[in-house]
């Protein structure tokens, strides 16, 4: 009697590998001009990509191997069995075509293969599926997927039948061996960091496999720094970090303690001003006219910039909203893996909100959407903030919304209302405000701007700017306006793709500090990190407080050179005026000479001095975090 199993496995494997190679070619065609993908890099990416495709196949083939082992021989030899195989193969093809579409849309949006963002797409299904429904013609896409799968199944019906009819000895043993492949090979040998085949990030993306990357991101949400990254002796790291955080009018509470708790003494009379920090979704500096954009997308922000303290060399710490919120709230460098916002036991820090609460402020996190997304409500509640999110908007307070939340105009009216409540109670207030309108599907109220809805990022930016203009106009009529500082800053940039490990230009964000009665307009050219925002604004208010911040008051002359922290979920970057050092898993280290204006980078040897300072910040903060030495409870 013929034994059919291994032939079918070979046919399905070839189909999978062919589609995976086609996806890689498709993404190569999508890389922008000037990406630096020379022939030798494409060859390396193709070889590494085939390696990851095989690793992914080792997992993908498991259901078929189990089926061929468990299916009764009587059924396997029945004349109707081929129709069962055709149905299963058509479903398999539909999944592959769906993956092609998903990888295309994801790469088009983010410039990368699947990563932590894609994990969020699986976890937060309501918001994400709603966003996809509002952004793409799903009926047409799924109809197309079904049509392509059916057509391909019909065209491949003869090879499928031949594959199913091939005879091999020991079929059960061969199929059983496939069950061990993930454990024997993929799980123990393959690591997602092996896709880093060069210093060109586009080549590294092509070298991976999207499905493998997706599950690797899901598993590796927190990476052990001491296990995977270069390190120095901890006492050396701790000592250097104590030097780097030293500032004028700044002294350690206990110089002999491993904690970095300092007493910050304000320089002048303390200003108990209200504070509104507006965190704008994906507002890259490149969209503002004051940074050179010629499309006139931000007339209100450009006008405010001339009336504000404008920071012109500010860098986001990461590529996700939770990274920006972490940096702004806790003033710490990004740790490898996911943001602290999304980790368990993420409370008890001496956050920006906790510091102001100790001075009698009412600290609130005000979000346009539902704050359970990305664990935001849990994080802010555990760190001194009360929550105002989509669930707290009355029906009459919402004039427009999409799956992500209410439009920016509605959000800002709520901010004004909450500020007026605190003012009526004679309480100073601190509002951390997170917007959502500058986000796919880029929908907003009609008639506000001259760009139609769903027209792309430019429409989202221009509407966000329009809403800011209205916000300032409406807030200016409030009795508390004169004694309020408004900070406008982005959570991260609109994209992070680039040809280097961490493309510096993709992390530039704007910050405006606006308070006509209290903050003199000007420009701050000094390099600034997102983790410096809280201590800098508190310095403008002449606040005295206890701090565990790693960030510094950028307006003080600390004598330390400028630096910034930029990261992906695995790679950590340390940026100085003209150097970038990148660390990654498996002791990876690469140093570049960078031109921050153009973004050009040239690889050079790693220097001990730069590595020591970088590890002082990153390894030092990891130690404080793991030992809970930066918590107040």
- Residue 334: name the closest of 512, 505, 507 by CA: 507
d(CA 494, CA 510): 12
**Mean pLDDT (whole number) for 25-44:** 86
Statement to judge: residues 470 and 347 lie in one domain = yes
Q: How far is CA 489 from CA 279, 321, 366, 509, 544, in A?
A: 5, 12, 15, 7, 24
Is residue 591 over pLDDT 90? yes
Decide if 610 is inside a domain: no
**Domain that includes residue 159, residue range:** 5-219
Q: Report how far apart, in Å, the C-alpha atoms of 223 and of each of 229, 461, 585 are.
A: 9, 34, 9
Q: Are residues 193 and 327 in the same domain?
A: no
Identify whether 587 is part of a domain: no
Helix, strand, coil share (%) of the chain residues, nearest 5: 50, 15, 35
Q: Do 11 and 107 fall into the same domain?
A: yes
Same domain, 327 and 476: yes
Question: Is residue 443 assigned to a domain?
Answer: yes
Distance CA 444, CA 401 (A): 8
Q: What is the pLDDT of residues 551-577, one digit of tens each?
A: 999 998 777 889 999 998 788 999 999
pLDDT over 50 at 5, yes or no: no
CA distance between the termini of the chain = 71
Q: Are the CB atoms for 487 and 519 separated by under 8 Å?
A: no
Residue for token pair 């009379």: 269
- If asked whether residues 419 and 300 sit together in one domain, one would say yes
Cα–Cα distance list, 421 to 91, 127, 388, 416, 432 (Å): 57, 30, 13, 9, 16
CA angle 201, 204, 205 (to 5 degrees): 90
- CA 112-118-124 angle, to 5 degrees, is 155
Q: Which H or E element spans position 246? A: none
287 and 382 share one domain: yes
**Taking a C-beta distance cutoff of 8 angstroms, is the pair 64, 8 a contact?**
yes
Residue keyed to tokens 């070619």: 25
Nearest residue to 435 via CA among 463, 475, 454? 463
Domain membership of residue 92 (yes or no) is yes
Q: Which segments within 322-470 are labelled E, that is strand?
A: 362-367, 386-388, 401-402, 405-406, 429-434
d(CA 622, CA 550): 12
Report helix angle 5-30 to 39-60, nearest 10.
Answer: 140
CA distances from 32 to 10, 285, 404, 596 (A): 36, 20, 29, 20
Q: Give burial (CB, 10 Å; 0-12/13-18/19+) of 244.
A: middle
Tell me how far apart the alpha carbons of residues 179 and 177 are, in angstroms, rounded to a whole number. Answer: 5
The CA dihedral of 51, 54, 58, 62, to the nearest 10 degrees, is 160
The overall pTM is greater than 0.85: no
How many C-beta atoms lie closer than 10 Å to residue 307's C-beta? 14
Q: Which of the residue ranges 12-16, 324-328, 376-380, 572-576 would you say has the lowest mean pLDDT?
A: 12-16
Task: Give the residue from 495, 525, 556 where a domain finishes.
Answer: 556
- Count of domains forming the chain: 2
- Among the candidates 556, 589, 605, a domain finishes at 556
Same-domain check for residues 176 and 285: no
Mean pLDDT of 76-99: 82
- Does residue 474 sit in the same domain as residue 325? yes
Place of tokens 């906790």: 354
- Alpha carbon 57 to its chain centroid, in Å, reads 28
For residue 252, what is the enclosing H or E element?
strand 250-252
- pLDDT for the residue numbered 163: 67
* Of 579, 540, 620, 536, the residue nearest 247 (C-alpha): 536
Residue 159 lies in a domain: yes
CATH number at residue 439: 3.40.720.10
Choose between 141 and 408: higher pLDDT.
Answer: 408
- Do 316 and 432 have their domain in common? yes
Residue 66 lies in a domain: yes
Q: Which of 199, 219, 239 is the last residue of a domain?
A: 219
**pLDDT for residue 580:** 95
Q: Flag whether pLDDT at 286 surpasses 80.
A: yes
Contacts (Cβ under 8 Å, ≥6 apart) of 567:
317, 318, 323, 334, 336, 502, 573
Report yes or no on 250 lying in a domain: no
**pLDDT tens column, 424-463:** 999 999 999 999 988 888 889 999 999 998 888 999 999 9
Bridge partners of 363? 430
Backbone angles phi, psi at 581, to 5 degrees: -110, 130
CB distance 491 to 485 below 8 Å: no
Residue 105: pLDDT band by 50, 70, 90 thresholds? confident
Looking at the structure, tell me whether residues 204 and 286 fall in a common domain.
Answer: no
Task: Say whether pLDDT at 355 is over 70.
Answer: yes
In a domain, 458, yes or no: yes
Question: Is the pLDDT score of 178 beyond 90?
Answer: no
Quick one: 344 and 474 in the same domain? yes
């Amino acid at each position: 009697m013929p034994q059919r199993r291994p032939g079918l496995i070979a046919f399905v494997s070839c189909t999978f590998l062919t589609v995976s190679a086609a996806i890689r070619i498709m993404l190569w065609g999508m890389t922008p001009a000037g990406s630096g993908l020379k022939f030798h890099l494409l060859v390396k990416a193709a070889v590494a990509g085939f390696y990851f495709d095989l690793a992914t196949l080792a997992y993908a083939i498991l259901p078929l191997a189990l089926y061929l082992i468990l299916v009764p021989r009587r059924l396997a030899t029945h004349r109707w069995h081929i129709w069962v195989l055709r149905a299963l193969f058509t479903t398999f093809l539909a999944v592959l075509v769906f993956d092609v579409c998903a990888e295309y849309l994801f790469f088009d949006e983010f410039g990368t293969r699947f990563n932590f963002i894609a994990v969020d797409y699986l976890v937060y299904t309501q918001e994400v599926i709603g966003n996809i429904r509002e952004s793409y013609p799903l009926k047409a896409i799924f109809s197309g997927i079904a049509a392509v799968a059916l057509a391909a199944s019909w065209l491949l019906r003869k090879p499928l039948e031949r594959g199913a009819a091939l005879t091999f000895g020991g079929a059960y043993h061969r199929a059983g061996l496939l069950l061990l492949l993930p454990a024997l090979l993929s799980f123990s040998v393959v690591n997602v960091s092996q896709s880093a085949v060069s210093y060109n990030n586009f080549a590294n993306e092509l070298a991976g496999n999207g499905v493998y990357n997706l599950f690797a991101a899901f598993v590796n949400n927190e990476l052990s720094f001491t296990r995977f990254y270069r390190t120095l002796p901890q006492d050396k790291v701790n000592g250097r970090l104590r030097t780097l955080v030293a500032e004028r009018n700044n002294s350690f509470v206990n110089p002999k303690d491993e904690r970095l708790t300092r007493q910050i003494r304000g320089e002048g009379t303390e200003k108990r001003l209200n504070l509104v920090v507006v965190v704008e979704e994906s507002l890259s500096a490149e969209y503002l006219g004051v940074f050179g954009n010629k499309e006139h997308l931000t007339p209100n922000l450009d006008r405010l910039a001339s009336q504000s303290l404008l920071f012109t060399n500010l860098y986001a710490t990461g590529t996700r909203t939770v990274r920006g919120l972490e940096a702004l709230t806790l003033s710490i460098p990004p740790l490898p893996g996911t943001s602290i916002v999304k980790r368990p036991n993420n409370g008890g820090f001496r956050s920006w909100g906790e510091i102001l609460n100790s001075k009698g402020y009412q600290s609130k996190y005000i979000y346009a959407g539902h704050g359970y997304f990305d664990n935001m409500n849990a994080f802010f509640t555990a760190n001194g903030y009360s929550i105002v999110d989509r669930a707290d908007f009355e029906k009459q307070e919402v004039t427009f919304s999409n799956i992500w939340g209410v439009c920016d105009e509605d959000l800002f009216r709520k901010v004004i209302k909450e500020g007026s409540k605190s003012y009526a109670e004679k309480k100073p207030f601190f509002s951390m405000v997170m917007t959502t309108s500058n986000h796919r599907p880029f929908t907003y109220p009609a008639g506000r701007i001259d760009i139609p809805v769903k027209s792309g990022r430019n429409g989202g930016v221009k509407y966000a700017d329009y809403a800011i203009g209205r916000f300032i106009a409406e807030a200016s009529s409030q009795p508390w306006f004169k004694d309020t500082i408004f900070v406008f800053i982005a959570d991260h940039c609109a994209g992070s793709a680039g040809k280097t490990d961490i493309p510096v230009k993709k992390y530039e964000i704007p910050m405006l500090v606006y308070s006509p009665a209290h903050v003199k307009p000007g420009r701050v050219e000094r390099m600034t990190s997102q983790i410096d925002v809280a201590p800098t604004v508190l310095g403008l208010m002449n606040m005295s407080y206890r701090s565990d911040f790693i960030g510094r008051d950028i307006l003080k002359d600390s004598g330390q050179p400028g630096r910034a922290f930029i990261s992906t979920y695995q790679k950590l970057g340390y940026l100085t005026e003209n150097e970038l050092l990148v660390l990654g898993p498996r002791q990876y280290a690469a140093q570049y000479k960078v031109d921050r204006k153009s973004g050009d980078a040239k690889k050079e040897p790693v220097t001990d001095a730069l590595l020591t300072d970088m590890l002082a910040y990153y390894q030092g903060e990891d130690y404080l975090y793991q030992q809970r030495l930066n918590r107040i409870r």
